[in-house]
Amino acid sequence: MRVSVPKEPTGRLSDAWRYCVGTGRFELALRRDYQDSLATVQREIGFRHIRGHGLLSDGVGIYRPYEHRGARRVHHSFTYVDQVVDAYLDLGIKPFLELGFMPAELASGDQTVFWWNGNVTPPRSWPEWADLVRATISHLVDRYGLAEVRGWPIEVWNEPNLKEFWAGADQEAYHRLYELTAHTVKEVDAELQVGGPALAPSAGDWLLRFADFVAARDVPVDFVSQHAYTSGSAQHVPFGTHQRLAPSSRLLEQFAGPGRKLRGTALAGLPVHITEFNSSYRPDNPIHDTALNAAYLAPVLAAGGDLVDSFSYWTFSDVFEEVGVPTALLHGGFGLLAHRQVKKPTYHLYAFMARMGDLLLTRGLDHLVTRDATGRVTVLAWAPVDISGRDASPTGHTVRLSIPLDAPQRTAFALRSSVSEEAGNAWAAWSAMGRPRSPDQRQLDLLRELAEPVRRHQALPIAGGRVDLDLTLDRHEVTLVEITAVADETPPWWDEDRLLGTGREER
C-alpha cells in the first residue's frame, strides 16, 4: 500500500519539539565540553530554551550571608550566573529558568538529592527566599533587559510531588513556596512569565489541587508544567540500570494529561510545557545511547506539538552528574551527545527534525512528511520498536509514499540520511570496540566517524507531479529523505561515454 501524500499542507509543523531542551545542573554550563556540545547542538538542531536544576544551589553561589560590624547580612552574587547566561545567549539559546533548589544556609533541613547534594527543604526564612528570588530576577532584568527576560519562562521548583525533590512531597508547603515566589516575580515585572508545578509523572490530583489553590488565592500562573517518562522500576547493576518501557504512545498520553485535567478549571487553556521527557528517567540506563531510543521517540517528536506548547528532551549532553562522575564514555546518560561531542542516534533524530520543512503535508504511524518554502519535500520515517525485546530483529519494515512535487522538471534528487542498529551508531561501534571506558584519541576519532549518519542519494523520476519513494528500514532505523526537483544544468555536449576518451568525438 502506497500512501498518497496530499499536495496541499494541512498546517504548519509545530516547533514545540525544539522550544526547550534539558541540561545538567546550572554550573556544569561553565565546562568546556558542555559549551562545545551546546555549540554543536545549536548549529545542527537549534533549540530555543534550556532548562536545568540548581540555579539557586550552593554551587552557583548566589546566596551569600556574611557578618559585618556584628550584623548578619546577605549578599547576592551573580559571578557564575552571568558567565553561564552570557554563554547561553552567545550560543543562541535562552534560559527556561527553574527556581531551586535551596541554598544550604537558607534551608530548614538537610535533606538533599543527587550526588551533588541539592537541598530540597523549604526555606527557614521565607522573606530571605523572596529576597533571593527578587534579587536574582532583578539582576537578570538589569543585565539582559526586560524585553529579553520576559521571554524566559520561570518555573517554581522541580517535581515537588516526589519526596526525593521536596521534603515530604508536602503540597501545602509547595503552595506556599509557589505563591510567594510567583508574587515576587510579578513584583519585579508583571509581564514576566511564571508557572509550575513541574510535576513528576503519575501525580494523581496534585495538579487539580494546585489549580484550586491558585484560583482560590488569585495567585499568578502563566503556564503549567509537568514531566513525562515511560520507564518502569529500576533494576540496578553496578553503575547502571535496566528498566522496562511502556509504548512511546504513553508519552503522548502524558503530554495530553495536564490539558485534559485542567479542562473546566481556572487554568484551562494555559500554555502547557513538558519541561522534561525521555524514555527512562535514569541517567545510567544504556537505552539512551541506542538507536532504539531514537526510533522509539520519533513518533513523539512528530506528534507531540499537537498536544503541548513544548516538550523538552532531558538532556542535550552527558555532562551531568546526578549519580556521580560517569565511569565510562557511554554510561546510559541522558545526553543527545556523549562526552566529547560523540553523537548518539537520538541526536540525529533531532538533527533530522531540524531539516524538516515548516509546512506539514502528512503524518502517519511511521512517517512524517513536510515541505518548505523552496519546494523541498522532506520525509522522516522510522522503524517500529518492539518494547518487549522479544522480536530480536525487526528489520525490513517498509514505508511507501507517493510524494507531490510541484515542479516542471523530470527528475528529483533524494538524499537519504539514516541511523540504525548498524549505521550512524556510536554505541554499536563502541560495543564492538570492547566498550573502552576511556577511549584514546584514535578511538574517539573512529567513534565520531562512525556516529555520522549513513548517507546515500538517488535520482527519482517525477511523473504527473509526483515521485514514488520506497523505503526499507533496518532495525531501529530513523531516516530522513530530502527531495528536491533537479534543475538540470548539464551542458548539451556532455556525454558520459566519452569520459575515457573512447566515445565518438563530436565534429
Rounded CA-CA distance 237/243 in Å is 11
* Piece of the chain touching its own copies by CB under 8 A; list 16-24, 153-161, 194-202, 413-421: 413-421
493 forms part of the interface with its own copies (CB under 8 A): yes
248 forms part of the interface with its own copies (CB under 8 A): no
Our CB check for its own copies shows the closer of 328 and 471 to be: 328
146 forms part of the interface with its own copies (CB under 8 A): no
408 forms part of the interface with its own copies (CB under 8 A): no
Is 128 tagged catalytic? no
Instruction: Cis check for the bond before 490: say yes or no (omega within 30 of 0).
Output: no
* Piece of the chain touching its own copies by CB under 8 A; list 69-77, 106-114, 250-258, 363-371: 69-77
| The one catalytic residue among 27, 155, 159, 482 | 159
Is 159 tagged catalytic? yes
Q: Which of 4, 79, 398, 472 binds its own copies (CB under 8 A)?
A: 79
Rounded CA-CA distance 334/293 in Å is 11
389 forms part of the interface with its own copies (CB under 8 A): yes
Structure letter (DSSP) for residue 14: P
| The one catalytic residue among 27, 98, 155, 276 | 276
Structure letter (DSSP) for residue 231: B
Instruction: Output the furthest CA–CA distance in the chain (Å, rounded).
Output: 102
126 forms part of the interface with its own copies (CB under 8 A): no
State which of positions 20-49 bind its own copies (CB under 8 A): 30-35
91 forms part of the interface with its own copies (CB under 8 A): no
394 forms part of the interface with its own copies (CB under 8 A): no
Q: Tell me the three-class secondary structure of 101-113, residue by residue.
A: CECHHHECCCCEE
Taking the complex as a whole, the smallest distance from the CB of residue 245 to its own copies amounts, in Å, to 6
* Piece of the chain touching its own copies by CB under 8 A; list 119-127, 221-229, 266-274, 491-499: 491-499
Residues 122 and 172 sit within 8 Å (Cβ to Cβ):
no
Taking the complex as a whole, the smallest distance from the CB of residue 319 to its own copies amounts, in Å, to 8
Residues 6+ apart with CB under 8 A from 394: 383, 384, 386, 475
Residue 97 exposed, middle or buried by CB count within 10 Å (0-12, 13-18, 19+): buried
Our CB check for its own copies shows the closer of 9 and 59 to be: 59
Residues 6+ apart with CB under 8 A from 139: 76, 78, 81
Rounded CA-CA distance 344/452 in Å is 9
Our CB check for its own copies shows the closer of 3 and 407 to be: 407
Our CB check for its own copies shows the closer of 177 and 414 to be: 414
Residues 6+ apart with CB under 8 A from 90: none
Which residues are marked as active site? 159, 276
